[in-house]
Amino acid sequence: MDLPNSLHARDIAHVLHPYTNLSLHRTEGPLIIERGDGIHVVDDQGNRYIEAMSGLFCASLGFSEQRLVEAAVRQMSALPFYHSFGHKSNQPVVELAERLLAMAPVPMSKVFFANSGSEANDTAVKLVWYYHNAIGKPDKKKIISRIKAYHGVTVATASLTGLPNNHRDFDLPIARILHTDCPGYYRFGRPGESEEEFATRCAQSLEDLILREGPDTVGAFIAEPVMVSGGCIVPPATYFAKVQAVLKKYDVLLIADEVICGFGRTGNMFGSETFGLEPDMMTMAKQLSAAYQPISALMVNARIFEAMVAESEKIGTFGHGFTYSGHPVAAAVALETLKIYEERDILGHVRAIAPRFQAALRRLGEHPLVGEARGVGLVGTLELVQDKQTRENFPPAMAVAAQAGKLAQAHGVITRGMGDNFNLCPPLIITERELDDLMVRVERTLDDTARWLDASAHR
């Protein structure tokens, strides 16, 4: 048993953990991580793990990139903090905005900085409303998200998120937030229906929703290029082309949520490039700073920005912002991160190693517990099923994917089981040898999970 003053016991006594079973935590307690080394982290008992989730889809350069540490120290020594309110600025934030605009897959006008993906998406919600007020369309305020989407946990972004546990007993979603079909072909495609036919049906369902609500009331549609937290749902062929045609028909803004997909994860700098999105707004975070500092960004196009200018002139200010918007240390670290991506050709590395990752993922898809293996670039999931033929899920109370995540730790792998999905999202710097090692450990985890299920069935 832990002593009362141990770090483990002190955590249980004092820390409120996000996305955690709070009752279970009282008995199970935390895994205390002490240090990192490349794609690995080490706990307080000296156990070493492959961090197969890049932390939370964010530690793209691993856990020991000294250049990012040095960038933070340099900036802290020069200017440890300043804000962006009332015409104030600093060099790192100006340079970062310039660099991001130059990288954008479609023309963008300005960059707004925040601290998290949730804040960036929350700002996008407010700007949809602000913009339509500015252009004289005060009723065009509804925002359409998708079932199984993940866009954050603020009141507005948790409403956009299409996962039940983010709504239950939080009294969400709020008004003017709608959800359309999830584009998961494996789960929602009909027998005999091709991917393109499924995409057509999804687009038609979106159009039907817009028409039911009234096109003059629908202001925006928000989408992740790949719905990673919802189960690494890769859009079916032609999906985004057909969806964007509907949005243009009814003058509905497109917000691309690049919080996870941005900065190389899908094999291009942005998921919007991988899947042909032409957004009016783009949000990003996570790999923007390789997770070494909290920072996020929202890019808006010229049409939206010019309307914002007019509205702020009328009101006398643009009444939105955060204390740490454009924090100079976070901006400096993000700039150094982008330099590393370019200098080391991280994108080229991802493109070279992604086929190996995806092929290994598909091989694991042949395991008796796996219904489908899916992914793109260096992100993927194994959807665990009770019956491969019928695609029947395990009862939620069994928490099979969560159990698989626990068993993975015994094999030196940290991942995250969410719903029925065993997720993999390794740091972008992973080598072929490390990748092969990871997949061997994952296969052993699946075998252990099968044995656990068999033992549970005979109790």
Tally of domains in the chain: 2
Residue reference for tokens 């993940």 = 150
Judge if 91 and 188 occupy the same domain. Answer: yes
Tell which of 322, 343, 364 closes a domain.
343
List Cα–Cα distances, 283 to 57, 138, 217, 381, 441, in angstroms: 15, 24, 23, 23, 34
Q: 429 and 358 in one domain? A: yes
283 located within any domain: yes
Domain edge (last residue) among 313, 328, 343: 343
For 215, residues 6+ apart whose C-beta sits below 8 A from its C-beta are 250, 251, 252
Query: In CATH, what number is assigned to the domain containing residue 418?
Result: 3.90.1150.10
Give me the amino acid identity at 88: K
Asked if residue 26 belongs to a domain, the reply is no
CA distance 250 to 214: 10
Whole-prediction pTM value? 0.96
Per-residue pLDDT of the chain (459 residues; tens, 9 = 90+): 466 679 999 999 999 999 999 999 999 999 999 999 999 999 999 999 999 999 999 999 999 999 999 999 999 999 999 999 999 999 999 999 999 999 999 999 999 999 999 999 999 999 999 999 999 999 999 999 999 999 999 999 999 999 999 999 999 999 999 999 999 999 999 999 999 999 999 999 999 999 999 999 999 999 999 999 999 999 999 999 999 999 999 999 999 999 999 999 999 999 999 999 999 999 999 999 999 999 999 999 999 999 999 999 999 999 999 999 999 999 999 999 999 999 999 999 999 999 999 999 999 999 999 999 999 999 999 999 999 999 999 998 898 999 999 999 999 999 988 889 999 999 999 999 999 999 999 999 999 999 999 988 766
> Do residue 364 and residue 389 come from a single domain?
yes
Give the domain range for residue 256: 68-343
**Is 153 within a domain?**
yes
**Alpha-helix residue ranges (DSSP H) falling in 104-194:** 117-134, 155-160, 185-188
User: Quick one: 243 and 378 in the same domain?
Assistant: no
Q: Are 150 and 163 in contact (CB under 8 A)?
A: yes
Q: Residue 447's CB: how many other CB atoms inside 10 A?
A: 14
User: What angle (nearest 5°) sits at the alpha carbon of residue 106, between those of residues 102 and 111?
Assistant: 55
Give the pair of three-digit tokens for residue 175.
């008004």
Judge if 98 and 193 occupy the same domain: yes
**For residues 104 and 300, is the Cβ–Cβ distance under 8 A?**
no
In-domain check, residue 73? yes
- Same-domain check for residues 254 and 210: yes
Q: Which helix (H) or strand (E) holds 278?
A: none
**Is residue 85 domain-shared with residue 60, that is, in the same domain?**
no
Helices and strands, counts by H and E, the chain: 16, 15
Note whether 279 and 137 are same-domain residues: yes
Amino acid at 253: L
Tell me: do 168 and 315 sit in the same domain. Answer: yes
User: Of 312, 343, 374, at which residue does a domain stop?
Assistant: 343
How far apart, in whole angstroms, are the C-alpha atoms of residue 210 and residue 178?
Answer: 10
